[in-house]
């Protein structure tokens, strides 16, 4: 049970007035039986690599986020429940997104890391299940499930899709003319690497394959706005129609965040360089093919090969654009009279990443790591009038796998028996305090984590990375010491040590043994690592 003081620290950060505190401190909400309601609409908004602290209503929000504010995030939190202990199923995007959309540990079919497992035809997805109950389904944005028989959205339940099929995409260079400009460039070897440019894909009609999709070029486009425009148009088309499931999977705030839209760059005073595909020379942040350091340094700091002073400001520019997307979607739901019958879930796929200058305070670590900063994600669940509003849940350990059964339960539909996720409604309505007794994660047989209650046992391959700090003027500079995450077995008490600084494995060997046995039991139920075609990998 959280005290009034605990809630006040969130409310103050969000700008909620004292007169509204009744909703925060005592609102229990009430569910109307699904049989008495028409089936709810569902909107799932996924951020990419969002920093755990990068929402202005949070007490750990950094000063720059508080300065500019995130009214969209704050508004959604005020009308729903924010979960402090929410987790993705992986510290990287493709496995995590696959766990979310199937409601199952993706390791069950060998999907552990990049290139593993894919999305097999036998695995049921949220849009497939809802389609059986007359839902209209649409997806706009990123799709990345590591391949598989039905990775393309219209092959796993969506009626329409506009977006891209990769782990990253450029924010503004979205034309076939941009592709041709690169191909004509001296030094281009046919591989865009991590900074992919070019048209988006459009497909309409279930069963359509990727090769049948239409390429849609945009001149002067911006992916965050394009995906939001389509989402809002879809909501307007659905007014008074069949129930819908809308999946908005932004590439914001994934790299290359140093490529920014002019409007948002001006908003935060970030570097902005207009893109001119016909220019004789392309300057940073645009990739010059003969820049030898591009592939080597891109994943870390961009092809500058060092900490970018403008890095945090560029991240903020893309963050504010993402926040406005949430506001616009909520506005459209309200304008069309559909807000109170629409469940909105906002979540990040994994933790914020160090190479985009995300802030994961007070957690340790970043994306790619089994530290809390890689696994724990911001998560808000909102449905005014049907679910409690203005709440912060600090106790329940929840997973993005829980989204699937929560949707089916709210809609009064049968929940598949084989899901690992659990219905969140009893926790949301205060009828149950706990959600998962424990959760487990694995990258491989030698790199894994298990959390049970306050205890976390991790066996990691280790990680060392240049770190950064933000100066008072907003510039990013390299920190004196690199960030290191240990490569030996570690036991942490997360209630007392959220930053994972004190290894207690020698002090509590019995607890470590119990957790290891629990992990081993879970691991025995998972498949070995598979490639995207479903064949076993040589190195499990």
Quote the pLDDT of residue 35: 41
Domains of the chain: 46-438 (3.40.720.10)
Tens-level pLDDT at each residue, the chain (540 residues) = 333 333 334 444 444 322 232 333 333 334 444 444 689 999 999 999 999 999 999 999 999 999 999 999 999 999 999 999 999 999 999 999 999 999 999 999 999 988 888 999 999 999 999 999 999 999 999 999 989 999 999 999 999 999 999 999 999 999 999 999 999 988 888 877 777 999 999 999 999 999 999 999 999 999 999 999 999 999 999 987 799 999 999 999 998 998 999 999 999 999 999 999 999 988 878 877 776 655 555 545 554 567 889 999 999 999 999 999 999 999 999 999 999 999 999 999 999 999 899 999 999 999 999 999 999 999 999 999 999 999 999 999 999 999 999 999 999 999 999 999 999 999 999 999 999 999 999 998 789 999 999 999 999 877 888 889 999 999 999 999 988 888 889 999 999 999 999 999 999 999 999 999 999 999 999 998 877 666 776 555
| Cis ω for the linkage preceding 353 (within 30 of 0) | no
Contact present, 174 and 200 (Cβ < 8 Å): yes
Q: Which of 441, 348, 351 is nearest to 107 (CA)?
A: 441
Q: What does DSSP say about strands 80-83 and 391-393: parallel, antiparallel, or unpaired?
A: parallel
Q: Give the separation between CA 113 and CA 46, rounded to whole angstroms.
A: 19
Cα–Cα distance, 125 to 353 (Å, whole number): 27
Helix axes 4-14, 71-78, angle to 10 degrees: 150
Q: Which two tokens stand for residue 316?
A: 């903020």
DSSP element (H, E) containing 320: helix 311-335
Contact call for residues 80 and 382 (beta carbons, < 8 A) = yes
Q: What string of DSSP letters covers 275-316?
A: --TT-SSPPTTSPPTT-THHHHHHHHH-TT-S--TTHHHHHH
Task: Write down the pLDDT at residue 73.
Answer: 99
Owner of token pair 């081993």: 520
Nearest alpha-carbon partner for 415 in 403, 429, 426, 397: 403
Neighbouring CB atoms inside 10 A of 464's CB total: 10
Q: Are 51 and 352 in contact (CB under 8 A)?
A: yes
CA distance 113 to 110: 9
Q: How far is it, in rounded angstroms, from Cα 389 to Cα 405?
A: 20
Listed in order, strand segments (DSSP E) in 72-180 are 80-83, 86-87, 136-142, 160-164
pLDDT of residue 105: 98
CA distance 501 to 363: 10
* Tokens encoding 476: 């990013």
Nearest to 451 by CA among 382, 524, 500, 379: 500
Residue 170: how many CA atoms within 13 Å on its side-chain side? Answer: 24
Strands 438-444 vs 214-216: parallel, antiparallel or unpaired: unpaired
Taking the C-alpha atoms of residue 266 and residue 262, their distance in angstroms, rounded to an integer, is 6
| Residues 6 or more apart whose Cβ sits within 8 Å of residue 403 | 44, 100, 103, 126, 345, 347, 421, 424
Q: Give the residue among 450, 438, 446, 519 at the shortest CA–CA distance from 113.
A: 446
According to the model, what pLDDT value does residue 469 have?
A: 93
CA angle 315, 316, 322 (to 5 degrees): 95
Beta-ladder partners of 202: 162, 214
Tell the burial category of 482 from Cβ atoms under 10 Å away from its Cβ (0-12, 13-18, 19+): exposed
Structure tokens at 35: 């049989």
């Amino acid at each position: 049970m959280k005290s009034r003081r605990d809630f006040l620290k969130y409310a103050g950060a969000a700008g909620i007035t004292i007169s509204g505190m009744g909703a925060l401190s005592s609102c229990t909400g009430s569910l109307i039986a699904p049989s008495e309601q028409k089936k709810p609409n569902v909107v799932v908004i996924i951020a990419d690599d969002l920093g755990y602290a990068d929402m202005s209503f949070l007490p750990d929000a950094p000063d720059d986020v508080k300065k500019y504010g995130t009214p969209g995030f704050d508004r959604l939190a005020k009308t729903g429940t924010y979960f402090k202990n929410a987790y993705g199923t992986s510290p990287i995007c493709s496995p995590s997104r696959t766990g979310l959309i199937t409601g199952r540990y993706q390791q069950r079919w060998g999907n552990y890391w990049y290139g593993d497992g894919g999305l097999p035809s036998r695995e049921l997805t949220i849009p497939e299940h809802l389609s059986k109950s007359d839902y209209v389904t649409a997806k706009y944005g990123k799709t990345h499930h590591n391949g598989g028989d039905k990775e393309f959205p219209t092959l796993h339940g969506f009626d329409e899709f506009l977006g891209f099929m990769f782990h990253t995409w450029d924010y503004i260079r979205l034309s076939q003319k941009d592709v041709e400009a690169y191909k004509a460039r001296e030094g281009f070897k046919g591989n865009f690497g991590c900074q992919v440019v070019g048209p988006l894909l459009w497909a309409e009609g279930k069963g359509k394959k990727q090769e049948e999709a239409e390429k849609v070029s945009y001149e002067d486009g911006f992916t965050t706005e394009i995906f939001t425009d389509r989402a809002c148009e879809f909501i307007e088309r659905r007014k008074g129609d069949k129930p819908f499931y809308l999946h908005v999977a932004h590439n914001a705030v994934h790299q290359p965040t140093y490529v920014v839209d002019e409007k948002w760059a001006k908003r935060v005073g970030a570097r902005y360089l207009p893109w001119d595909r016909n220019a004789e020379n392309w300057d940073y942040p645009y990739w010059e093919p003969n820049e030898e350091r591009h592939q080597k340094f891109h994943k870390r700091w961009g092809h500058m090969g060092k900490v970018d002073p403008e890095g945090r400001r560029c991240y903020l520019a893309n963050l504010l654009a993402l926040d406005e997307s949430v506001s616009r979607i909520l506005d459209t739901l309200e304008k069309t009279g559909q807000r109170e019958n629409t469940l909105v879930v906002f979540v990040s796929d994994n933790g914020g990443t160090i190479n985009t200058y995300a802030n994961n305070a007070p957690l340790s670590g970043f994306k790619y790591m089994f530290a809390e900063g890689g696994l724990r994600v911001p998560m808000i669940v909102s449905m005014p009038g049907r679910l409690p509003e203005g709440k912060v849940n600090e106790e329940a350990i929840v997973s993005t796998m829980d989204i699937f059964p929560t949707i089916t339960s709210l809609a009064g539909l049968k929940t598949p028996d084989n899901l690992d996720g659990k219905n969140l409604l009893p926790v949301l309505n205060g009828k149950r305090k706990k959600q998962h007794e424990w959760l487990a994660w694995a990258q491989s047989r030698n790199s894994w984590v298990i959390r049970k209650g306050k205890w976390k046992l991790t066996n990691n391959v280790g990680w060392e990375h240049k770190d950064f700090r933000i100066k008072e003027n907003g510039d990013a500079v390299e920190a004196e010491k690199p960030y290191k995450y240990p490569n030996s077995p570690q036991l942490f008490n997360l209630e007392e040590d959220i930053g994972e600084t004190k290894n207690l494995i020698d002090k509590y060997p019995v607890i470590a043994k119990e957790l290891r046995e629990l992990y081993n039991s879970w691991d025995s139920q998972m498949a070995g690592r598979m490639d995207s075609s479903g064949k076993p990998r040589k190195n499990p």
